[in-house]
Amino acid sequence: MITICVIHIGQHFPHYIKDCIHQLRLHNPKETVDILLFINGQSNYKHATYLEQLYLIKPVYIEELPITPHYQEFLAHSKRLLDLGFRQKYSQYILERYFVWEAYMLQTQIKNMYFIESDNLMYVPLKFVVQTECLFSQGMAMPFDTVERGAPSFVFARDHVALQDMNKWIVDCMKKNMIDDMDIYGFYRQTYPNKIFPYPVLPAVCNKDKTERKNLIGQCVSIDKCSFLCDERFPILFDSVVYGQAVSGVDPRNTNAQNSVGYMNEKALFSVAETEFGWTQQNQLWIPIANKLPIVNLHIHSKALSCFLSDRQTPPCADYNPKELMEKINRDYKS
């Protein structure tokens, strides 16, 4: 069996987690793929059992997992460094997910496991992603869209040791007051390129004949240093956040509910506009493509996941009201 997990820590339950899991099951039958939902059982048991019955997933209750010494150290530094009042410990939970994941892999000794963030939709069956595991030797993989920044929208781990190495790195970074999660992943790849692989985010043809790349805030990088954006061996692409923000916009809480569809990420070293992005259907399910390459996941930063499900009758599009969506997200946090 192939295993993929969604990890949600906290008392509230975002409504779009259901869309994330719905989409996972659309492309991954229960006979070949286990979908695990890591969740706090004390506060979200009803949500977990509902999704278990509906999609035949397997809940994993976070309270029942062991806490490693470096997990304890992380929690201590979180209280000291992080703004735990922002969106109910958001800055802690986005990093804590990897300690929870490590604890599960350590406890079960499971190998070769995938993780998808709950505001992402998956469009390529996992059996095709698994075939790429032999193309790199690193213990982990995730998309990167700049030299300095990683995006854990879709992550692979070969075993608990790979996660342990990164988690100890996270603790070391926090000791140095480095707390931005995306910067931590980017610095990890730069320091230990043998430990984490950059999933390709851009068709190789887009790097052809270029000598450098420049983002919207003026950072310029030679093509050699940003060659990680592409990999000709891969028949699939991954989204850090760039494709998802372009098609769906950004979280309406960040824009005071202003329409942001078409957003161009200012830090990324590429844009969707330079690709031949579009939608196609396979087996009556919509999938995004860039230069005819299927995109494994879209990071729907706006949280409007229902607008981009593969089983829509019409092509996915941002047909949502930002104000109504923001109000719905805010209700999730109050419930």
% of the chain beyond a pLDDT of 90? 77
Instruction: Provide the pLDDT for residue 334.
Output: 72
Instruction: Provide the pLDDT for residue 178.
Output: 74
Instruction: Provide the pLDDT for residue 58.
Output: 97
Residue 232: exposed, middle, or buried by beta-carbon count in 10 A (0-12, 13-18, 19+)?
A: exposed
First to last CA, the chain: 35
- How high does pLDDT run on average in the chain? 92
Query: Which CATH code fits 2-334?
Result: 3.90.550
Q: Following CA atoms 211, 197, 4, 254 in sequence, which dihedral angle do they give, to the nearest 10 degrees?
A: -50
Say if residues 242 and 265 touch (Cβ distance below 8 Å): yes
* Distance in angstroms (rounded) separating the CA atoms of residues 85 and 100: 21
With 80 as the cut, is the pLDDT of residue 86 above it? no
The token pair that represents 169 in the structure block: 């790195």
| DSSP letter (8 states) at residue 335 | -
pLDDT tier at 70 (50, 70, 90 boundaries)?
confident
Say if residues 190 and 231 touch (Cβ distance below 8 Å): no
* Distance in angstroms (rounded) separating the CA atoms of residues 149 and 16: 25
Closest among 48, 35, 37 to 2, alpha carbons compared = 35
pLDDT tier at 223 (50, 70, 90 boundaries)?
very high
Say if residues 247 and 254 touch (Cβ distance below 8 Å): no
* Distance in angstroms (rounded) separating the CA atoms of residues 191 and 103: 24
Q: What is the mean pLDDT of residues 321-327?
A: 92
Distant-in-sequence, close-in-space partners of 153: CB < 8 Å, separation ≥ 6: 116, 117, 120, 142, 143, 238, 239, 240, 241, 244, 297, 299
Instruction: Provide the pLDDT for residue 191.
Output: 96
Q: What is the mean pLDDT of residues 211-234?
A: 92
pTM, full prediction: 0.95
Sign of CA dihedral 162, 167, 168, 170: positive
Instruction: Provide the pLDDT for residue 75.
Output: 84
Q: Report long-range pairs for 71-74 (Cβ below 8 Å, ≥24 apart).
A: 71/99, 71/102, 71/103, 71/167, 73/171, 74/99, 74/167, 74/170, 74/171, 74/174
Instruction: Provide the pLDDT for residue 181.
Output: 83
| DSSP letter (8 states) at residue 280 | E
Domain boundaries in the chain?
A: 2-334
Distant-in-sequence, close-in-space partners of 58: CB < 8 Å, separation ≥ 6: 34, 35, 36, 37, 52
Instruction: Provide the pLDDT for residue 43.
Output: 86
pLDDT tier at 78 (50, 70, 90 boundaries)?
confident
* Distance in angstroms (rounded) separating the CA atoms of residues 68 and 98: 12
Instruction: Provide the pLDDT for residue 72.
Output: 87
